[in-house]
Structure 1
Amino acid sequence: MHTPPHETRWPVWATEPVVVVDHDPHWAVQAMEEIRALQPLLRPFGNSGIWHVGSTAVKGLRAKPVLDLVAPIESLERTAVITRMLAPYHWHYVPYELDQRPWRRFFIKVEQNKRIAHLHLVLPEERRWHEQLRFRDILQDNVYVRQAYAELKTMLAEEYRHDRDAYTAAKSDFIRRTLKDY
């Protein structure tokens, strides 16, 4: 079938459905492996640590089986250099025009045509990554919040199965309320 020139052909991993699965204890091991591989690559850009955040970082929490890693760097201006350096390791840069989040630069690691990890590069003073750490810690420490979030994510994954952006946006009120209340 011929695709008209105005339509975009997306890679399979860019449009895969939202699926939430039971927690996998191996996610923590996978995250550490990714962190160990990324640290020497990102150190020249002022990175002094990489954190596993998001639902895969919370023991017992249902999640999309995609690791979320956050790494502060000195400047977001060297994204082109970082993109070239990470490409051989299966990291794909999501251009700002698509991501639309000026506070980060976003990469997706793909293996066998599936997302396995997200890398959020941020500036050290960026409040959002501090909030990601805080939200993760609240979920780890509070079983009631963790259960409510798991139920919400499961419901939203069904409702927004083919719209990752809507799925993410629909969780934001819960996250904001939790950060305010705890």
Structure 2
Amino acid sequence: MSRSNDASTWPAWAVEPVTLAPPDPQWPAQGENLRQELASLLLPFGVTEIEHIGSTSIPGLSAKPVLDLMAAVRGWEDVPGIARTLAPYHWHFVPPELDERPWRRFFVRAPKDRRTAHLHLLLDGDPHWEEQLCFRNRLRADDTLRDAYAALKAKLAADFREDREAYTAAKSEFIRSVLQT
């Protein structure tokens, strides 16, 4: 979330420190369970594609213990209805002006005010969809890439413990290099 607004008014989950956990062999199963739950909730909006992405989807990779999922939507006009549908399940919509990524709509699942999952809604056919899958799949297939990413994440988590946005931005060059190979 953008740091341009008064952070003192943000919920606790919005300013959680960057903390990495060792790889958890349960993350893929947890991701699949959440994918199935979201598939049921989002089906009325025509959502049929949902993928577990991010570090928790890559076996053997340390990660913030937050499951990232991405779903393809037909258009942004469904977002208000999706937000109402997901709200009872502890999903919080992050407005695009705070997220600062106009190509997606972003939700944070935060029961008891702690992040447990992210949902990235992308428009059907958006090129970021394939990039997310390509990055995930290359790290799944290449232990050397996975280990290099783990080392980078550990350094950045120490450097940017109190700034999630800076942590994320600092990974961009590595991600671009993986996508260009």
- Whether 1:129 aligns to 2:120 is no
* d(CA) in 1 for partners of 2:175, 2:74: 27
* d(CA) in 1 for partners of 2:129, 2:91: 20
TM-superposed deviation, 1:135: 0.4
CA deviations 1:122-165 (Å, max 9, x no partner) are: 11111112111110000000011111000000000000001111
* d(CA) in 2 for partners of 1:44, 1:73: 11
Structure 2 stretches lacking a partner, 5+ long: 1-5
How high is the TM-score relative to the length of structure 1? 0.93
Q: Which residue of 2 aligns with 1:101?
A: 101
Q: Which residue of 2 aligns with 1:3?
A: none
How high is the TM-score relative to the length of structure 2? 0.94
Q: Which residue of 2 aligns with 1:71?
A: 71
Q: Which residue of 2 aligns with 1:9?
A: 9
The residue correspondences of 1:24-35 to structure 2 (distance < 5 A) are 24-35=24-35
- Whether 1:50 aligns to 2:50 is yes
TM-superposed deviation, 1:20: 1.1
Q: How has the CA–CA distance of structure 1 residues 146 and 82 changed in structure 2, closer, same or farther, with 3 Å as cutoff?
A: same
User: Which stretches of structure 1, 4 residues or more, deviate above 4 A after TM superposition?
Assistant: none
Range moving further from structure 2, 53-62 or 42-51? 42-51
How many residue pairs get aligned? The number is 176
Q: Name the Cα RMSD after superposition.
A: 1.2
Aligned residues of 1:45 and 1:75 also touching (Cα < 8 A): no
Task: Work out the percentage of aligned pairs sharing the same amino acid.
Answer: 51
